[in-house]
């Protein structure tokens, strides 16, 4: 990586620490780079700065990143041979040093989704029995991943997750639920899951057995050393450590000794000073003691945790311990100088008047929460300053000034005040939300009543629609019957029309049917061929209005006379009538015309039927 990439990567880790509280600086850098690179590749990003911008714009990416960084790979009875060895060696050794009824504490560090915590619970329950397990055992499971801890607290696992659990243990310790199997509730109370950062949070103390399987492997060497020290402190005596097969303690032989190195089982080594605690004693004569006291007092003053200055009666600096020298940038040459000439006399607070008050009243003067802003420092320091007159046999011999750093306590107090303020604000918001919820609940109740009324109306409407549907179905059946009848009538009509057309063709070369106004009703195909006028052009028009080769000036009066003929018979003038006409080709054509009355069933005349046949050479060849 280039220096620029290194800087961007560090900025990204700082963002995770400041915004989400995850400090990955102690993790193996190459592992972090490799896993973050996968996220960059998935998002098609190229630099860490682009990914940092993406995190700020898309907060849901944090959970995906942490799922990638905090690999939760675990299972029940992982490395079964190691668990068998734990049962055979560690558990009996642990029980041997425990009196009957004495509590047993277990810590599963990096427990992920809880499988190993429940595994050790089953192992101990089998060893102790159910009653003794409930009375004596407490198992703590910790991890950084809140989502994994939630799964561990729920304690529900699929059939596939329980594949490595022996069938007898599975039937004894797990109960079926809707979405899998859950650990027995009466034993579940002995397991506590919570968040713990191994790099900075305090360890769980007085632990008899500590499981940290394949957890140390993600940290760098320095952080591993720090965590091992915490583990050593957390374990009781005797205490046992169970690691994963990818981890070793080769460089920590002063803290742990192997029980089974191949299975990664270790025992805590008791500190060398455990049985040889130092005791304070005075050895030697009174003369020796008097000779050592000045040196002892000087060393004690110099090593004090609180910055301290001592002034003589002349107001000169007589003593300054190492803490004061570092804090106020003093050096040995400043001893003996007038205090008022030193910067510390007026910064961080004006002390000269306070010193005079202590000299005059011969009592301690205290200044609370003195804030000191130092250029280049990230935050201000806060001190409680005490100016103490030093008395010997009732006489003033000097002034001692103590600077007690209370920055951390001031910060905690400010954070507490801010938390209380936020809590009050949250309470007010909660109260407001509660009122809104009540109002919303009333509105929902009213809406529910309206919906019930609407539902009843819809039910009634649905019943009406069902009735209408039945009626429509009946009407549809009737229409279907009518349609079938119409279809039959249409077929019959087509047959009649075909028959009539045949009859008309058979009557003569050209047949024309007229109504009582001499309007064309039927115009036969023979008439179309003879006169060159189509049926749709002729039907509905008066015969006299057609441009055809008939001598209509001769024919029309006779047709009128035929309509009014007495007795309903055609006039005599139409009997055997022959007309000289012109066909559609303009050739002369002699026509024999026969006229009959068109009668209804009641015998009344409604028109005429005029049949025309060609005579001579123009007659059809088939006649």
Q: Are residues 336 and 435 in the same domain?
A: no
| Structure confidence at residue 5 (pLDDT) | 80
Residue 269 CA to residue 267 CA, distance in Å, equals: 6
Q: Are residues 581 and 600 in the same domain?
A: yes
Overall average pLDDT of the 26-30 stretch: 74
Q: Are residues 12 and 24 in the same domain?
A: yes
CA dihedral (256, 79, 155, 215) positive or negative: positive
Cβ contacts of 271 within 8 Å, gap of 6 or more: none
User: Which of the four pLDDT bands, split at 50, 70 and 90, describes residue 597?
Assistant: confident
Rounded CA Rg of the chain: 58
Measure the N-to-C terminal CA separation of the chain; round to a whole number of Å: 114
Reported as half-sphere exposure (CB side, CA atoms, 13 A), residue 619 has a value of: 11
Structure tokens at 467: 């009735």
**Concatenated DSSP letters of 356-396:** HHHHHHTS-EEEEEEEE--TT-SS-EEEEEEEEEEEETTEE
Cis amide leading into 348 (omega within 30)? yes
Q: Is residue 280 part of a domain?
A: no
Rounded to the nearest angstrom, the gap between the alpha carbon of residue 332 and the centroid of all alpha carbons in its chain is 64
| Structure confidence at residue 66 (pLDDT) | 74
| Structure confidence at residue 368 (pLDDT) | 86
Phi and psi of 286, rounded to 5°? -60, -35
| Structure confidence at residue 138 (pLDDT) | 93
Contact (Cβ atoms closer than 8 angstroms) between residue 265 and residue 90: yes
Q: If you average pLDDT over every residue of the chain, what do you get?
A: 82
Residue 335 CA to residue 78 CA, distance in Å, equals: 66
Q: Are residues 112 and 246 in the same domain?
A: yes
Over the stretch 71-89, which tens digit does the pLDDT of each residue have?
666 889 888 899 999 999 9
Contact (Cβ atoms closer than 8 angstroms) between residue 370 and residue 348: yes
Q: Is residue 413 part of a domain?
A: yes
Overall average pLDDT of the 506-533 stretch: 87
- Give the other-Cβ count within 10 Å of 11's Cβ: 12
Minimum mean pLDDT range among 104-113, 153-162, 225-234, 252-261 = 252-261
Of 386, 405, 424, the last residue of a domain is: 405
| Structure confidence at residue 13 (pLDDT) | 82
Q: Is residue 458 part of a domain?
A: no
Contact (Cβ atoms closer than 8 angstroms) between residue 142 and residue 227: no
What b/e string do you get for 366-401 counting C-beta neighbours within 10 Å, with b at 16 or more? ebeebebeeeeeeeebbbbbbbbbbeeeeeeebbbb
| Structure confidence at residue 373 (pLDDT) | 80
Nearest to 612 by CA among 583, 587, 585, 573: 583
Overall average pLDDT of the 35-63 stretch: 83
| Structure confidence at residue 272 (pLDDT) | 56
Q: Are residues 255 and 398 in the same domain?
A: no
Q: Are residues 223 and 211 in the same domain?
A: yes
Q: What angle do CA 430, 433, 438 make, to 5 degrees?
A: 125
User: Which of the four pLDDT bands, split at 50, 70 and 90, describes residue 302?
Assistant: low
Residue 388, domain CATH:
3.30.450.20
Q: Are residues 90 and 100 in the same domain?
A: yes
Cα dihedral 329→332→338→344 (10° resolution): 20
Q: What angle do CA 133, 258, 103 make, to 5 degrees?
A: 20
Q: Are residues 542 and 475 in the same domain?
A: no
H helix intervals, 508-531: 525-531
User: Which of the four pLDDT bands, split at 50, 70 and 90, describes residue 299?
Assistant: low
Residue 207 CA to residue 204 CA, distance in Å, equals: 7
Residue 88 CA to residue 80 CA, distance in Å, equals: 13
Q: Are residues 64 and 86 in the same domain?
A: no
What b/e string do you get for 258-267 counting C-beta neighbours within 10 Å, with b at 16 or more? bbeeebbbbb
At 547 the three-state DSSP class reads coil
Residue 295 CA to residue 457 CA, distance in Å, equals: 101
Q: Are residues 401 and 411 in the same domain?
A: no
Of 460, 490, 505, the last residue of a domain is: 505
Structure tokens at 166: 């022996």
Over the stretch 393-431, which tens digit does the pLDDT of each residue have?
778 888 999 998 888 888 888 888 888 888 888 877 887
Number of structural domains, the chain?
A: 6
- Give the other-Cβ count within 10 Å of 569's Cβ: 13
Structure tokens at 227: 């965590």
| Structure confidence at residue 297 (pLDDT) | 60
Q: Are residues 60 and 84 in the same domain?
A: no
Overall average pLDDT of the 22-41 stretch: 78
Over the stretch 313-337, which tens digit does the pLDDT of each residue have?
888 988 888 888 888 888 878 888 8
Q: Is residue 273 part of a domain?
A: no
Reported as half-sphere exposure (CB side, CA atoms, 13 A), residue 385 has a value of: 24
H helix intervals, 155-284: 167-173, 185-188, 221-234
Q: Is residue 456 part of a domain?
A: no
Contact (Cβ atoms closer than 8 angstroms) between residue 548 and residue 531: yes
| Structure confidence at residue 285 (pLDDT) | 47
| Per-residue DSSP letter, 451 | H
Residue 466 CA to residue 329 CA, distance in Å, equals: 98
| Structure confidence at residue 105 (pLDDT) | 92
Residue 95, domain CATH:
3.40.50.150
Q: Is residue 37 part of a domain?
A: yes
Q: Domain range holding 31?
A: 3-69
Q: Is residue 291 part of a domain?
A: no
Q: Is residue 288 part of a domain?
A: no
| Structure confidence at residue 277 (pLDDT) | 41
| Structure confidence at residue 435 (pLDDT) | 66
Nearest to 311 by CA among 242, 241, 387, 363: 387
pLDDT tops 60 at residue 566: no
| Structure confidence at residue 486 (pLDDT) | 92
pLDDT tops 90 at residue 502: no
pLDDT tops 50 at residue 160: yes
The whole model's pTM is what?
A: 0.44
| Structure confidence at residue 97 (pLDDT) | 85
Tell me the three-class secondary structure of 258-287, residue by residue.
Answer: EEECCCCEEEECCCCCCCCCCCCCCCCCHH
| Structure confidence at residue 376 (pLDDT) | 67
**Angle in degrees, 0-180, between the axes of helices 29-43 and 48-57, rounded to the nearest 10:** 70
Contact (Cβ atoms closer than 8 angstroms) between residue 313 and residue 396: yes
Give the range with max mean pLDDT: 2-6, 177-181, 546-550. Answer: 177-181
| Structure confidence at residue 72 (pLDDT) | 67
Cis amide leading into 238 (omega within 30)? yes
Over the stretch 336-392, which tens digit does the pLDDT of each residue have?
889 888 888 888 888 888 899 888 888 989 888 888 887 767 778 888 999 999 888
Q: Are residues 109 and 175 in the same domain?
A: yes
Residue 619 CA to residue 250 CA, distance in Å, equals: 132
């Amino acid at each position: 990586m280039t220096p620029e990439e290194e800087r961007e990567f560090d900025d990204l880790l700082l963002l995770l620490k400041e915004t989400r509280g995850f400090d990955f600086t102690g993790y193996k850098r190459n592992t972090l780079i490799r896993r973050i690179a996968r996220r960059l590749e998935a998002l098609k990003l190229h630099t860490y700065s682009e990914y940092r911008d993406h995190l700020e714009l898309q907060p849901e990416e944090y959970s995906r990143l942490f799922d990638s960084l905090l690999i939760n790979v675990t299972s029940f009875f992982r490395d079964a041979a190691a668990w068998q060895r734990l049962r055979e060696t560690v558990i009996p050794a642990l029980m041997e040093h425990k009196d009957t009824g004495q509590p047993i504490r277990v810590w599963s560090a990096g427990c992920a989704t809880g499988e190993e915590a429940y595994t050790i619970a089953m192992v101990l329950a089998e060893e102790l029995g159910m009653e003794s397990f409930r009375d004596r055992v407490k198992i703590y499971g910790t991890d950084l991943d809140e989502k994994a801890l939630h799964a561990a607290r729920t304690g529900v696992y699929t059939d596939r997750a329980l594949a490595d659990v022996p069938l007898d243990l599975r039937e004894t310790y797990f109960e079926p639920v809707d979405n899998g199997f859950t650990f027995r509730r009466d034993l579940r109370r002995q397991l506590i899951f919570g968040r713990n950062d191994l790099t900075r949070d305090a360890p769980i103390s007085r632990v008899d057995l500590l499981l940290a399987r394949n957890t140390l492997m993600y940290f760098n060497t320095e952080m591993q050393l720090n965590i091992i020290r915490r583990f050593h402190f957390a374990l009781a005596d005797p205490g046992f450590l169970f690691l994963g097969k990818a981890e070793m303690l080769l460089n920590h032989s002063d803290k742990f000794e192997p029980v089974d190195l191949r299975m990664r089982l270790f025992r805590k080594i008791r500190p060398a000073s455990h049985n040889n605690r130092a005791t304070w004693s005075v050895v030697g004569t009174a003369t020796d003691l008097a000779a050592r006291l000045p040196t002892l007092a000087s060393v004690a003053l110099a090593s004090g945790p609180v910055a301290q200055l001592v002034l003589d009666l002349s107001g000169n600096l007589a003593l300054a311990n190492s803490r004061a020298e570092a804090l106020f940038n003093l050096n040995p040459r400043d001893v003996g100088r007038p205090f008022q000439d030193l910067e510390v006399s007026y910064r961080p607070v004006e002390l000269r008047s306070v010193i005079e008050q202590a000299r005059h009243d011969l009592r301690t003067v205290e200044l609370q929460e003195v804030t000191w802003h130092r250029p280049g420092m990230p935050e201000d320091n806060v001190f409680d300053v005490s100016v103490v007159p030093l008395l010997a046999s009732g006489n003033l011999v000097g002034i001692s000034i103590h600077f007690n750093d209370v920055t951390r306590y001031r910060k905690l107090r400010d954070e507490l005040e801010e938390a209380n303020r936020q809590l009050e604000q949250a309470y007010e918001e909660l109260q407001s939300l509660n009122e809104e919820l009540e109002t919303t609940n009333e509105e929902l109740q009213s809406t529910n009543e309206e919906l019930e009324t609407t539902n009843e109306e819809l039910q009634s409407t649905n019943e009406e629609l069902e009735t209408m549907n039945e009626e429509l179905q009946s009407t549809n059946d009737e229409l279907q019957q009518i349609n079938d009848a119409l279809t039959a009538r249409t077929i019959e009509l087509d047959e009649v029309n075909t028959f009539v057309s045949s009859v008309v063709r058979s009557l003569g070369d050209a047949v024309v049917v007229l109504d009582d106004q001499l309007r064309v009703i039927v115009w036969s195909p023979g008439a179309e061929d003879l006169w060159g006028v189509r049926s749709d052009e002729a039907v509905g028009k008066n015969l006299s209005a057609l441009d055809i080769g008939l001598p209509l000036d001769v024919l029309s009066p006779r047709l009128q006379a035929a309509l009014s003929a007495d007795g309903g018979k055609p006039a005599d003038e139409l009997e055997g009538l022959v007309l000289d006409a012109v066909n559609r080709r303009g050739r002369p054509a002699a026509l024999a015309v026969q006229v009959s009355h068109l009668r209804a069933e009641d015998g009344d005349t409604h028109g005429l039927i005029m049949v025309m046949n060609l005579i001579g050479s123009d007659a059809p060849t088939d006649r």
